[in-house]
Structure 1
Amino acid sequence: MTKPIREQAITDLYYSSLPKKICIADLGCSSGPNTLFVVSELIKTVSTICKKLGHDQSPEFQVYLNDLPGNDFNTIFRSWPRFHANLRNEMGSALGPCFFTGTSGSFYDRLFATESLHFVHSSYSLHFLSKVFDGIESNKQNIYMASTSPQSVVKTYYDQFQTYF
C-alpha cells in the first residue's frame, strides 16, 4: 500500500536535487528479517533512476537505523554483509557506496542534526499516535487511510497531522 508513495517520494527527491549522497533514516527499524527491506527498496529505486539517466553509479547512501536502546542492533549489523552482497548482485556496478549506522533512542526526542536527512521512514508510526482520532470509526476495518476510506476519514487524518506538525 505505501510502496508507490515511498517510490514517488524518493524519485521526486532525487530528481529535485540530484544529490551525491542521500541520507535515509528508518525510525523504529526493529531487528527482524524485514529490517532492511524498505531501505533496500529505496536504494534500488534511486539506483534504477540513475541507470535510466545514464549515470555510472548511484549516489552514496548513508542509512540511519533507529530504534529504542533495547533493540538488537548486533543482529542487524551481522546481517549487513549478506544484505550488501545481495544488493550488489542485484544492482551491479550501478550501486553506489552504502554506509549503515545504528542510532539508538526514541524518535520523540531529537536524534539527528539539522538538515542531515533527505528521507525519513517509519513503518510503525501509527502505533505511537497520542490518541485515536475522532471520526475514525467509519474507516471500515482499515487501520490506515485506504482507497476505500470515506472522505471524512481522510480529513480526520489531515486534521490530526496539522495538529501534530
Structure 2
Amino acid sequence: MATASSANVYCTNATDKQISYANNSSLQKKVQLKTRSFLEDTIKDMLSKMVHVPCIKVADLGCASGPNTFFPTCEVMDIIASVCRQAHWESPELQVFLNDLPQNDFNTVFKSIPAFNGKPCFVAGVAGSFYQRLFPSKSIHFVHSSYSLHWLSKVSIYN
C-alpha cells in the first residue's frame, strides 16, 4: 500500500537514460488510445452539465516527462473542440495544469511546449504530490490521470 512518503520515491526523471519512462512509455500510450471512448463519454457528460464557461480548467495528475506528456491533454482538447463544434457552441479557452512530483523533469516538459503551442490553451506546471491538495476548491473542471492513481491507498471524497 502506498503512503505519502511514496511521493518521494516514485519519480520518472532522467529522461535521457535508456531505462527512463520517456524511452519506455509506449504501453501507456496504447492504453490511453484504448480508453479514448471512455474519456470522450466522460467529457461529453461533463460539458452537457455545464453552463457556458469561458475557460475550462484541466489537470493532468502524474504527467511525467516524455513523449506522452501532452498526449492526454491533446485528447481532452480535441474532444472538447469536437463536442463544441457539433453543438454549435463557441469553444472555450483551456487552462491545463500538468502535475507531477517536484523531482519530475519539468524543464523537459516546458521545452516541449513550443511544439504543442499551436493548441488553444494555457499550460502551467504544478509540482507536488496529489497526496496533498494541489488546487483550490472547485477550481478544476476535469482531472485526468492515466498511470498515477494506483499509488493512492484510498480515494478522497470532496464535496
Same fold (TM over 0.5): yes
Which residue of structure 1 lines up, in the alignment, with residue 25 of structure 2?
A: none
Q: Which has the higher helix share?
A: 1
Which residue of structure 2 lines up, in the alignment, with residue 49 of structure 1?
A: 83
Which residue of structure 2 lines up, in the alignment, with residue 5 of structure 1?
A: 38
C-alpha distance in 2 between matches for 1:126 and 1:13: 21
Which of 134, 147, 153 is the aligned partner of 1:124? 147
1:16 and 2:39 matched: no
Percent identical among aligned pairs is 50
C-alpha distance 114-98 of structure 1, shift in aligned 2 (>3 A):
same
User: Stretches of 4+ moved more than 4 A in 1?
Assistant: none
C-alpha distance in 1 between matches for 2:64 and 2:137: 24
Give secondary structure in 2 for the equivalent of 1:24. Answer: strand
C-alpha distance in 2 between matches for 1:74 and 1:126: 24
Structure 1 length as normaliser, TM-score?
0.68
Count of residues in Structure 1 that have an aligned counterpart in Structure 2: 123
The structure having more radius of gyration, on CA atoms, is 1
Give secondary structure in 2 for the equivalent of 1:115. Answer: coil
1:100-119: CA deviation from partner (whole Å, max 9, x where unpaired): 10000000001000110011
Which residue of structure 2 lines up, in the alignment, with residue 27 of structure 1?
A: 61
Structure 2 length as normaliser, TM-score?
0.71
The residue type paired with residue 111 of structure 2 is: R
Q: How far does residue 126 in structure 1 lie from its aligned partner after superposition?
A: 4.5
1:110 and 2:143 matched: no
Which residue of structure 2 lines up, in the alignment, with residue 157 of structure 1?
A: none
C-alpha distance in 1 between matches for 2:152 and 2:54: 35
Give secondary structure in 1 for the equivalent of 2:84. Answer: helix
Gaps of 5+ in 1: 88-96, 131-159
The residue type paired with residue 100 of structure 1 is: V
1:84 and 2:107 matched: no
Q: How far does residue 4 in structure 1 lie from its aligned partner after superposition?
A: 1.5
RMSD of Structure 2 on Structure 1 (CA): 1.7
C-alpha distance in 2 between matches for 1:129 and 1:107: 9
The residue type paired with residue 99 of structure 2 is: N
Q: How far does residue 54 in structure 1 lie from its aligned partner after superposition?
A: 2.4
1:36 and 2:46 matched: no
C-alpha distance in 2 between matches for 1:108 and 1:67: 11
